[in-house]
Structure 1
Amino acid sequence: MKYPVAIEPGDERRAFGVVVPDLPGCFSAGDTLDEAIDNAREAIDLWLETVIDGGGPVPDARPFAEHYNDPEFAGWIWAVVEIDLSGTVGKSSV
């Protein structure tokens, strides 16, 4: 499954902030853009594991264009993070 992530640009004093719009409350950061994307993957994994362990549904990712055109994320960098759910899907009915 692929999730779009919005990355707020960082600089020498601020980390790159990451938000996963399809997973409420799922966020992360990194000192570099690459680190921010790697940390986003870890945050998504943990978010999904928590939801699945609790018996909740795994949200589908909305079309990328919906997020890209959202004014809340104007000027942010976009990336797509691929998540392998094969190890967690069997834990609950999704």
Structure 2
Amino acid sequence: MYLAPGDRAEHPEAGWSEEAVTSRYAVVVERAEDGGYGAYAPDLPGCVAVGETEEETISLMREAIEFHLAGLREAGEAVPDPSTARVALIEAA
């Protein structure tokens, strides 16, 4: 069962806990001039990763997001809800 963030406090009987929540954050992966890749999550300022391949960069970004969220929780700070509804690639001439 998924409860929207505002519903969690209203429905404690649902058994929600910080560990049980999984969120999906948008990640932007960009090709670097040196041939490597960089990535960032728009909803998590300062959360970035770089790698030699797209796959490595995405893997490192997953770790960076988990580390970032754990740090926010440990510090007692609010974990931002993902705000990106959709990511689209637009072709332009």
Moved over 6 A (4+): none
Q: Which has the higher contact order (CA 8 A, sep 6+)?
A: 1
Q: Which residue of 1 aligns with 2:46?
A: 25
For structure 1, the 5+ residue unaligned runs are 76-94
Normalising by structure 2, we get a TM-score of: 0.64
Compute the displacement of 1:15 (Å).
1.8
Q: Secondary structure at the match of 1:28?
A: strand
Q: What are the residue-to-residue correspondences of 1:49-60 with 2, within 5 Å?
A: 49-60=70-81
Compute the displacement of 1:28 (Å).
0.6
Compute the displacement of 1:68 (Å).
4.7
User: 2-side partners of 1:41 and 1:64: how far apart?
Assistant: 19
Over the residues paired in the alignment, what is the CA RMSD in angstroms? 2.3
**Alignment match of 1:40 (pick from 56, 61, 85):** 61
Is residue 6 from structure 1 mapped to residue 28 from structure 2 by the alignment?
Answer: yes
Identity percentage over the alignment? 33
For structure 2, the 5+ residue unaligned runs are 1-22
Q: Secondary structure at the match of 1:24?
A: coil
Instruction: Give 1 or 2: higher strand fraction.
Output: 1
Normalising by structure 1, we get a TM-score of: 0.64
Contact 2:72 2:78 in 1 (8 A): yes
Greater Rg by CA: 2
User: 1-side partners of 2:32 and 2:82: how far apart?
Assistant: 25
